[in-house]
């Protein structure tokens, strides 16, 4: 993966789920036995993805979109919005969630066109995605939140923080980019991916060579989880793959559009990458670091584009520490951290 208001909230179109406590660890997301016996070299605990998806609700937003989301954790805790990437869904975060602080109130979204959210004919820019998130927070009565994004979701998180700084506490950008410098051409591998996506036709085969390569990871990840990713993204119409590609991925990740607004990102920010990310080149990372010189940076050695799938406990520890930091005195007085 190159790499979501006044609203009516209803249960998404899924089988009825048994009522659960606010933080459904254990039976819902984890095999406790696997967690107890896991070692640093072991695969992350298995996730019950069907149970996770069954928790989704749907918000009918004032802009006409229907956005699916999961609200979990401590309802009275600090809100944290988790925004997935291109062709993914809220379950992108399932490996990480068990390791995040249980004191947080997580809002895990399916962005428009993805997962159980609506699939409009138009529009799929980062500004459209970010506005959906803003309207969802309005509907949920959340005034201010931390925002965490992965891959394309990081561009959405960045945009949210730029447009609504008063609604943003802290920002975490995972596998993100500052776009390409003017005049720099994208790598041939990325150009090839774009060409392949432009040729996709329905129905998309989740077991095709392309889809297996699309969801490949640098380090071992549970095969059932990856299969779930392929099935969900194959269910997305080819027109949505292509609309997001042309309206968001090409101008922002393969162009220089992301750089234009980065000076407006003033919230405390953490940048996370895997050192072996084949989709986000060093020059793309450098553009983000240069534009955000005050940002904290963490690079996980040997990991790829999805570091929190590969080492969820380690990534969560870094994110928890960053989100729990007390604001600087002057920032606290100004109400900006």
129 in Cβ contact with 156 (< 8 Å): yes
Separation of alpha carbons 308 and 223, rounded Å: 15
173 in Cβ contact with 292 (< 8 Å): no
Catalytic annotation, pick one of 151, 154, 175, 176 = 151
Residues 6+ apart with CB under 8 A from 333: none
CA-based nearest residue to 276, from 254, 310, 301:
301
263 in Cβ contact with 293 (< 8 Å): no
Q: Is 71 a catalytic residue?
A: no
CA-based nearest residue to 159, from 294, 259, 55:
259
Separation of alpha carbons 171 and 228, rounded Å: 28
Separation of alpha carbons 22 and 227, rounded Å: 27
Q: Is 305 a catalytic residue?
A: yes
Give catalytic residue positions.
151, 305
């Amino acid at each position: 993966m190159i790499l979501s208001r006044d609203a009516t909230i209803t249960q998404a179109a899924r089988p009825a789920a048994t009522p659960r406590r606010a933080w459904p660890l254990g039976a819902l997301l984890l095999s406790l036995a696997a967690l107890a016996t896991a070692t640093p070299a072991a695969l992350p605990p298995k996730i019950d993805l069907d149970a996770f998806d069954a928790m989704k609700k749907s918000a009918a937003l004032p802009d006409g979109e229907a956005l699916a989301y999961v609200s979990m954790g401590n309802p009275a805790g600090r809100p944290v919005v988790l925004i997935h990437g291109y062709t993914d869904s809220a379950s992108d975060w399932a490996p990480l969630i068990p390791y995040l602080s249980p004191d947080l109130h997580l809002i895990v979204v399916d962005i428009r066109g993805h997962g159980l959210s609506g699939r409009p004919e138009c529009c799929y820019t980062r500004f459209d995605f970010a506005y959906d998130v803003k309207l969802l927070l309005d509907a949920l009565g959340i005034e201010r939140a931390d925002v965490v994004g992965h891959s394309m979701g990081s561009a959405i998180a960045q945009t949210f923080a730029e447009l609504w700084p008063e609604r943003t506490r802290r920002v975490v950008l995972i596998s993100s980019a500052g776009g390409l410098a003017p005049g720099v051409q994208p790598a041939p591998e990325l150009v090839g991916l774009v060409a392949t996506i432009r040729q996709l036709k329905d129905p998309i085969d989740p077991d095709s060579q392309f889809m297996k390569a699309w969801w490949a990871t640098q380090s071992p990840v549970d095969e059932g989880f990856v299969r779930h990713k392929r099935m969900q993204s194959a269910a997305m119409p080819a027109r949505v793959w292509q609309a997001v590609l042309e309206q968001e991925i090409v101008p922002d990740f393969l162009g220089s559009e992301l750089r234009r607004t980065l000076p407006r990102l003033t919230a405390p920010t953490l940048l996370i990458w895997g050192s072996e990310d084949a989709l986000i080149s060093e020059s793309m990372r450098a553009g983000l670091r240069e534009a955000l010189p005050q940002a904290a940076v963490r690079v996980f050695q040997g990991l790829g584009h999805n570091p929190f799938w590969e080492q969820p406990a380690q990534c969560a520890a870094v994110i928890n520490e960053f989100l729990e930091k007390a604001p600087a005195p002057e920032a606290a007085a100004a109400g900006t951290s």
